[in-house]
Amino acid sequence: MSEQHPATEAHDGPHEGPIRTPKQLVAAVVASFVVPIVVIILLVNYVDFGAKPAAGTDALAEEAVAKRIQRVGTIEIRDASAPAVLRTGEQVYQMACTACHAAGAAGAPKTGDAAAWAPRIKTGYEALLNSALKGKGAMAAQGGGDYSDLEVGRAVVYLANKGGASFPEPAAPAPAAAASQ
Other beta carbons less than 10 A from residue 21's beta carbon: 8
Query: Higher-confidence residue: 14 or 147?
Result: 147
Packing angle of the helix pair 149-162, 125-134 (nearest 10 deg): 120
Q: For the segment 45-69, what is each residue's pLDDT rounded down to a tens digit? A: 888 777 666 666 776 778 888 888 8
Query: Higher-confidence residue: 24 or 58?
Result: 24
For the chain, the structural domain boundaries read 89-172
Longest dimension (CA), the chain: 142
Give dist(CA 41, CA 141) in Å, integer.
60
- Sign of the CA dihedral running 119, 124, 129, 134: negative
- pTM assigned to the model: 0.51
Q: For the segment 62-94, what is each residue's pLDDT rounded down to a tens digit? A: 888 888 888 887 787 877 776 667 888 788 888
CATH 1.10.760.10, applies to 89-172: yes
Give dist(CA 62, CA 175) in Å, integer.
52
C-alpha closest to that of 88 among 166, 163, 171: 171
Give dist(CA 121, CA 116) in Å, integer.
9
Which backbone phi and psi does 77 adopt, to 5 degrees?
A: -100, 125
pLDDT reported for residue 37: 94
